[in-house]
Amino acid sequence: MIVYGASGHAKVIVDILLGIGIKVDKIVDADPAADEIFGIRVEKVSSETVFNADTQAVIAIGSNRIRKEIALRHPFLYTEAIHPRSCVSPYVIIGEGTVVMANVSVNPDVVIGKHCIINTGAVVEHDCILEDYVHISPNAALAGNVTVGEGSHVGAGVSVIPGIRIGKWATIGAGAVVIRDVPDGATVVGNPGRIIKTDTSDENAD
Ligand code: UDP
């Protein structure tokens, strides 16, 4: 097992993997700040480094865009990392490379895409759909039937009421209360949540 990324977020993922009995052979990073994490060797790599495609890996980088870039560049056997003290219904679909931290609840008929982060203490209620590369931050709560588009970042402590659709590559600032649908690329803050800017770049269309 390789963990790609050697930052603070990576420590949490290495901790989960070790806790569920998965041996981490090495951690790789383009610009490592340390040469080991929990005694596991950190190796410097570049975007040209070629890995064995049969190797299991998790991308442990918080940025949704960087996780997507790395996932598209490196064809690892991507693996989920699900904390043993999270509560994930068996009636949930979780895509490859997605990580679920401690004290998360995910209720039935939720679909979570590839390379998502469901961070510590988040709640994802019944029938939510999270597309690839989404990050739900610590203690955020999505009520039932919420949809979150590709690459969107829901900040710490956000509340989203039932049935809301959040577009792709949107950002919901910490503590916001989302009571209206959010368009692609929008940044929403406050209670009630309001749009303060919209990134209309083509990157949001993919
Ligand atoms: N990184 C990398 N390859 C890239 C971009 C970033 O290995 O193409 C690494 C970077 O060197 C850093 C980590 O990803 O070690 C990102 O860490 P940061 O503290 O920015 O955020 P976190 O992932 O902890 O949220």
Question: Going by DSSP bridges, is the β-strand pair 123-124/141-142 parallel, antiparallel, or unpaired?
Answer: parallel
- pLDDT number for residue 206: 59
Provide the token pair at 92: 């949930």
Q: Give the H or E element holding residue 73.
A: helix 64-73
User: Do 187 and 91 fall into the same domain?
Assistant: yes
| Domain assignment of residue 43, given as a range | 2-78
Name the closest-CA residue to atom 25, ligand 1. Answer: 62
Evaluate whether residue 205 is within a structural domain.
no
Pocket test for ligand 1, best of 2, 11, 15, 61 (most atoms within 8 A of CB): 61
Q: How far apart are CA 53 and CA 79, in angstroms?
A: 13
Boundary-marking domain end, from 49, 78, 107:
78
Name the closest-CA residue to atom 21, ligand 1. Answer: 62
Looking at every residue in the chain, the average pLDDT score rounds to 97
Evaluate whether residue 27 is within a structural domain.
yes
User: Do 96 and 67 fall into the same domain?
Assistant: no
Expressed in angstroms and rounded, the spacing between residue 7 Cα and the centre of ligand 1 is 6
- pLDDT number for residue 201: 83
- pLDDT number for residue 200: 85
Q: How far apart are CA 84 and CA 87, in angstroms?
A: 8
Collapsing DSSP to helix, strand or coil, 141 comes out as: strand
Residues of the chain with pLDDT under 50: none
Query: DSSP secondary-structure letter at 99?
Result: E
Name the closest-CA residue to atom 18, ligand 1. Answer: 7
Does ligand 1 come within 6 angstroms of the Cβ of 66? yes
Expressed in angstroms and rounded, the spacing between residue 35 Cα and the centre of ligand 1 is 14
User: Do 12 and 112 fall into the same domain?
Assistant: no
User: Do 165 and 85 fall into the same domain?
Assistant: yes
Name the closest-CA residue to atom 22, ligand 1. Answer: 62
User: Do 85 and 25 fall into the same domain?
Assistant: no
Does ligand 1 come within 6 angstroms of the Cβ of 62? yes
CATH of the domain at 132: 2.160.10.10
Q: Which amino acid appears at position 55 of this protein?
A: T
Q: Tell me how many domains the chain contains.
A: 2
Evaluate whether residue 156 is within a structural domain.
yes
What angle (nearest 5°) sits at the alpha carbon of residue 115, between those of residues 156 and 52?
Answer: 145
Collapsing DSSP to helix, strand or coil, 157 comes out as: coil
Expressed in angstroms and rounded, the spacing between residue 6 Cα and the centre of ligand 1 is 7
Evaluate whether residue 139 is within a structural domain.
yes
Evaluate whether residue 197 is within a structural domain.
no
- pLDDT number for residue 56: 98
